[in-house]
């Protein structure tokens, strides 16, 4: 495959870097960074040590209970029960385990995404992001990627016929897969386990901490490190199995001829399993002529009849948008979650 991310197999075994200077994967867009990257000595002085101890002191003095504290507790305990993080504990437990100043937590809050609650661990507030140097930034596909691939495939096939028409058997369908708890399926380097800790205040006013066994949402480094995995899986599916596929973070899309689509879908699922990646079957979309990807409806059913591919909002998205607009107009304001 000549894949340039040569360190990925080893990183998946030993864990990935969360803070400090991240080594380049050689697959993302290069960006200029500080010519004097933060070394381990500077990291220890400005991030851990007394600075970390003082930071935890500040957190301990802030015992304000979030309006969504019940939801934060509920979502955290869900992950505890799934084996994705440790039981919430108090500061003294982690001081005993790592030593004072040798660990640094991330404040946790909740955001609402549609009908789903997602815990976010704030790497900006905790200075994790400031203590990280990266030489690259990720690139993502657009929601129109399925339509773009279908258009290219249709053009190439029509060029093979004398009159530019498509054969009667031609028809395209698409489907999607979603990784189950994508970020949590990767883990940090052993040296960085002490900075993969979430913190929040319970409803009773006690600040607690939980060790994360996977990558936290809210870290700049986690975005880069996680996306290396779907990148290599997509490359394998394209280059080794000759599939028309793409991905956006943990969402993947597949495009195929209707005649062989069932086999393609089966092989995609088998390949994820071969890579030891768990997919969320509840979000799986079978191969069909009308598919939703990244909130966009792509209708491939009119390629033969109208020479057209139609993109638009999913019906439920349209209804939610109209409802929100009506609420804005009636109330004259919007909440942060609505915004």
Residues in contact with 300: Cβ distance below 8 Å, sequence separation at least 6, in sequence order? 146, 147, 150, 171, 172, 173, 174, 289, 290, 291, 309
CATH architecture of the region 145-179+227-322: 2-Layer Sandwich (3.30)
Residue 81, SS3? Answer: helix
State the DSSP H helix or E strand holding residue 318, giving kind and residue range, or none if neither: helix 315-331
Per the prediction, the chain carries an average pLDDT of 91
Within the chain, all domains assigned CATH 3.30.70 are found at 145-179+227-322
The two tokens of residue 274 are 């071969």
Q: What is the pLDDT of residues 137-156, one digit of tens each?
A: 998 899 899 999 999 999 99
Segments of the chain assigned E as strands? 20-21, 29-30, 106-113, 116-121, 132-133, 136-137, 172-178, 197-201, 207-211, 244-248, 251-257, 285-288, 290-293, 296-299, 310-313
Look at residue 55 in the predicted model and tell me its pLDDT. Answer: 96
Look at residue 36 in the predicted model and tell me its pLDDT. Answer: 44
149-173 average pLDDT score: 89
Please say if the pLDDT value at position 99 is more than 70.
yes
Q: What is the pLDDT of residues 45-76, one digit of tens each?
A: 579 999 999 999 999 999 999 999 999 999 99
Residues in contact with 226: Cβ distance below 8 Å, sequence separation at least 6, in sequence order? 182, 183, 186, 215, 249, 250
């Amino acid at each position: 495959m000549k894949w340039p991310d040569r360190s990925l197999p080893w990183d998946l075994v030993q864990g990935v870097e969360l803070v400090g200077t991240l080594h380049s994967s050689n697959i993302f867009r290069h960006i200029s960074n500080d010519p004097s990257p933060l070394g381990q000595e500077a990291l220890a002085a400005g991030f851990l040590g007394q600075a970390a101890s003082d930071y935890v002191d500040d957190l301990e003095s802030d015992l304000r209970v979030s309006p969504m504290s019940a939801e934060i507790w509920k979502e955290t305990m869900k992950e505890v029960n799934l084996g994705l993080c440790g039981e919430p504990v108090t500061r003294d437990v982690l001081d005993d385990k790592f030593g004072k100043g040798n660990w640094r937590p991330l404040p946790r809050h909740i955001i609402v995404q549609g009908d789903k609650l997602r815990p976010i661990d704030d790497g900006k507030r905790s200075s994790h992001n400031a203590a990280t140097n990266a030489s690259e930034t990720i690139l993502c596909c657009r929601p129109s990627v399925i339509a773009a691939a279908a258009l290219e495939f249709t053009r190439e096939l029509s060029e093979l016929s004398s009159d530019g028409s498509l054969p009667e058997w031609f028809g395209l369908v698409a489907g999607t897969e979603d990784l189950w708890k994508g970020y949590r399926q990767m883990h940090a380097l052993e040296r960085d386990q002490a900075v993969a800790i979430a913190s929040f205040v319970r409803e009773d006013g006690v600040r607690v901490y939980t060790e994360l066994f996977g990558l936290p949402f809210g870290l700049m480094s986690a975005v880069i490190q996680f996306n290396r995995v779907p990148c290599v899986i997509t490359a394998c599916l394209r280059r080794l199995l000759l599939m028309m596929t793409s991905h956006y973070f943990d969402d993947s899309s597949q495009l195929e001829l209707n005649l062989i689509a069932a086999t393609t879908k089966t092989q995609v699922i088998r390949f994820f399993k071969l890579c030891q990646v768990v997919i969320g079957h509840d979000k799986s979309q079978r191969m069909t002529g009308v598919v939703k990807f990244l909130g966009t409806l792509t209708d491939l059913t009119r390629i033969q009849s109208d020479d057209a591919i139609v993109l638009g909002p999913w019906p439920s998205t349209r209804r939610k948008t109209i409802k929100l607009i009506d609420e804005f107009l009636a109330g004259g304001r919007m909440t942060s979650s609505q915004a």
